[in-house]
Chains A and B, each alone.
Chain A
Amino acid sequence: MKKLFLILAWRNIWRNKKRAFITISSIAASLFFVLFLRQMQFWVYDFNIKNSVAATVGYIQITDSSYVDEKIIDNTLSSNQVDVEALTKIEGVKGVYPRFLSGALVSTGIKSKYAGISGISPETDNKLLKLDIKLRKGTLINADDRAIMITENMADYYQVSVGDSLILMGQGYHGFTAAGIYPIKAILNFPVGELSSMVFMPIKEAQFMHVADNRFTHVLIDIESNNQLEEIYSEVKKVSNDSQISVRTWEEVVPGLKQGIDMDANSGLIISGILYMIVGFGIFGTIVMLHNERKFEFGVLNAIGTNRFDLLFITLTELTILTLIGIVIGNLSSLPLLYYFNQNPIKIGGDAAQAVIDQGFEPYMGTGLFLDVFTANSLAILAIATFVSLYIVIKIIRINALKSMKK
């Protein structure tokens, strides 16, 4: 019996080809735009989290618990407080990066300015910071070098280049003076964010300068995907089960960024909502027309013995197939464009770039291929179709064969 109902539902779709085409097109077009918009938004977030957050604060950050409120050298971690090897073995962890972060007055000639000092492990950090890609002049520092790398912004400010030296002066562990004169070995391109005014030096040298041997300010944990954040966070907490140690996600370390992303995502949701409303009204229009066209037929079918639930099955199957065709076309048609911009992100230029930089993002625009964006938006349209289908559900539940057959 159901087979004939399915045949009936399928053939009913094509009874009014123009209407079916308009309905399918409106679903597909709206889904296409929603997917493009949302995939672009989430790509920007992901790109910036990967390139900025992951490199500066880490997806997950381990510090001494006192460092959370007071970021001073005295509140650093001792290397034996963190089991780097155990952390590296956690599934989904791409890398564990001990860091020594401080600040110092950086000067040369008559120019001086406060800047961040980042003690890194050049070989391993290259993976996280993509130093070889960011390198603009000179060569990257080695773990045993007594040299620094600065950004293009700083080089422009101090009017220095590779081979010149900068004086660093700050405060070390337990009140010692942290000072040194360091040659510039490389100039890097970090145009935005915290890293744009950062001096990079080997971690051993940073510890030495700050008289803090074997101490870290924090340990960054890089992970495969932000989607695994909560899961890996729990595992890290298990490994670092010490009340003196604080384990935080990037969302806790930079709540402003998280709020910014949430707000931006919500604005995207409003635009999606408007498109969803268009889809909803489109499907609703189809349902109202369908009911008016077939009211008589429903009456006949009911009169000859088709119960209301079978009528509902036929009609809802028809609407579901119609919606699914629109969803499939919307998803498939968006794929080539999404894939292209995923592989070839656009670098934004001019004032627009500055506006993006001012918001703390890198001026790149691409599109993601996030499965959950495809599924969530497809399900949203299916849910809207289901909701507007309530109209015909009510009409069929209340069917009166005789009244329906009156022309």
Chain B
Amino acid sequence: MKKVIETKKVNKIFGDGEIAVHALNDVSIEISEGEFTALVGPSGSGKTTLLNMIGGLDNPNSGNVILNAQDIGMLKKNEMTEFRQKNIGFVFQAYNLIPVLSAYENAEFIMLLQGISSQERKERVYKLLEEVGLKGKENNKPGELSGGQQQRVAVVRALAAKPAYILADEPTANLDSTATNDLLDLMYRLNQEENMTFVFATHDQRVIDRAKRVIYLDDGKVVKDELR
């Protein structure tokens, strides 16, 4: 299977001198297309830092991050932003929708940046919103939606642009059991049907249970890589 994510001896140190924290220590992983992977570990283990590296939001002190055969360390700031826009879908813990835009407008935002036509945007967004059970809520602002509904809009925003992979940082942390299960069902289905690659940084056992691969991190090192 095609490798879409690769890290080679990635190191990340926060601070310097005596207070320096080695957040990632020679981390090398490979993730292939269509994987449903969870990065797991206790707080401070480095899972979010690794997810940020993979998402091009942070740079390693040493080592390489290669996404779709492109070493992203070579990209300039604007090129990296464009790369994220075209290749990566983010789902954050706090949903992070734009409060003044409706569910539909939030969902189509990245596609607009990509210059996708109005007709295509409309078709894709309406279809996805219907799939995630938000039909009829298209014109609702985030403040008028529940946490679970907002997170589903955030997922639609990430998915609608058809990224190479989805990175999700604690996506279920603020959701109740029902919303969590609905969201995981949706992601799992997309993974199965569309062969979309998912990488989660999570504590949530429900997410870990559904993952096909679990990478355990501790003190910035990969301690276990479990394929299920």
Contacts and interface: CB of A to CB of B under 8 A. Distances in A.
Interface of A: 1, 4, 7-8, 11-12, 15, 296-297, 300-308, 310, 401-402, 405
Interface in B81-110: 81-82, 84-86, 88, 90, 92, 96, 98-101, 105, 108-110
Nearest to B99: A15
Interface string B110-131: 1011110000000000000000
10 contacts: A1-B115, A7-B105, A8-B100, A11-B100, A15-B100, A304-B158, A305-B86, A305-B88, A305-B113, A305-B114
A160 B109 CA distance: 88
A109 B90 CA distance: 104
Contacts of B113: 1, 305-306, 310
Given A305-B82, A307-B82, A402-B57, A300 B112 contact: no
B57 A303 contact: yes
A304 B99 contact: no
B100 A304 contact: no
A92 to B, nearest CB: 53
Contact of B112 (A1, A11, A405): A1
A255 to B, nearest CB: 58
B112 A4 contact: yes
B101 A8 contact: yes
A contact patch SS: helix
Contacts of A301: 98
A296 B157 CA distance: 18
Contacts of B92: 300, 405
Nearest to A310: B113
B52 interface: yes
Interface of B: 52, 55, 57-58, 77-78, 81-82, 84-86, 88, 90, 92, 96, 98-101, 105, 108-110, 112-115, 157-158
B6 to A, nearest CB: 21
B84 A304 contact: yes
Select the residue from A8, A12, A302, A307 with max chain B CB neighbours within 10 A. A307
B100 A402 contact: no
Q: List 6 A-B pairs, minimum CB-CB distance, nearest first.
A: A305-B85, A11-B100, A300-B96, A402-B57, A307-B81, A1-B112
A297 B98 contact: yes
Given A305-B110, A307-B85, A405-B96, 19 more contacts: A1-B112, A4-B105, A4-B108, A15-B99, A301-B98, A302-B81, A303-B84, A303-B90, A304-B84, A304-B158, A305-B84, A305-B85, A305-B113, A306-B85, A306-B113, A307-B81, A308-B78, A308-B81, A402-B52
Nearest to B118: A3
Contacts of A307: 78, 81-82, 85
A11 B101 contact: yes
Contacts of A302: 81
A307 B112 CA distance: 13
A304 B85 contact: yes
Contacts of A297: 96, 98
Given A300-B92, A303-B55, A304-B109, A12 B100 contact: yes
